[in-house]
Amino acid sequence: MAVRSKSSSAWLNEHVNDYYVHLAQKDGYRARAAYKLLEINEKDRLLKPGVVVADLGSAPGSWSQVAAKLVGAQGEVFALDMLPMEAIAGVSFIQGDFREDNVLAEFEKLLAGRMPDLVICDMAPNMSGNNVTDQAKSFYLAELALDFAARHLKSGGDFLVKVFQGAGYTEYMAAMKAVFAQVQVRKPKASRNRSNEIYLLGRNKH
């Protein structure tokens, strides 16, 4: 029988006793991350009936669940992830690697000329444990998401992305400020305190 490391045991214990994990199970959300988006949305009113949303890195689907519920039948949610995602009513999903041009082209085809009002991205790379490598991979994904938002968001649209504080953060913030009238930092309560993840919200695309 495999022996768990202290760190994996601590994670498991934290997960089992996590308030938001229990809440997600009760409310029918696929992951505790749903409450990060719900809290940000409560403050910033990003998701409203009729809004068109692109969800990058959507699996297992908790952000798409929240988005579909709040934009309603008048809105649309388009989701993409390299992992499979079970169907969600009101969400059009493509499975593929966002870093590959042909997958991005397929996603653009799915949009069929629609320009999203909002792009959301809770994507994170597979962590190797090497902080330098993981940070670089994370910002590479965030840069691709920003590029997508810059090219596809309608004028005045918004962009919400997860990043990790550290190397590359200042440069990424500057890149966002070149695209959006305002860039705000959000750290929802559902984000674990020990995590250096934060969310950057770009408002009102130029």
Which residues are known binding-site members for S-adenosyl-L-methionine? 61, 63, 81, 97, 122
How far apart, in whole angstroms, are the C-alpha atoms of residue 48 and residue 118? Answer: 10
Which residue type occupies 4?
R
The sign of the torsion formed by the CA atoms of 91, 94, 96, 98 equals negative
Residue 187: active-site member? no
- Count Cβ atoms below 10 Å from residue 2 Cβ, excluding itself: 5
How far apart, in whole angstroms, are the C-alpha atoms of residue 67 and residue 204? Answer: 19
Catalytic position from the list 162, 177, 189, 205: 162
Annotated binding-site residues read 61, 63, 81, 97, 122
Token readout for 201 is: 């919200």
Give catalytic residues, as residue numbers.
162
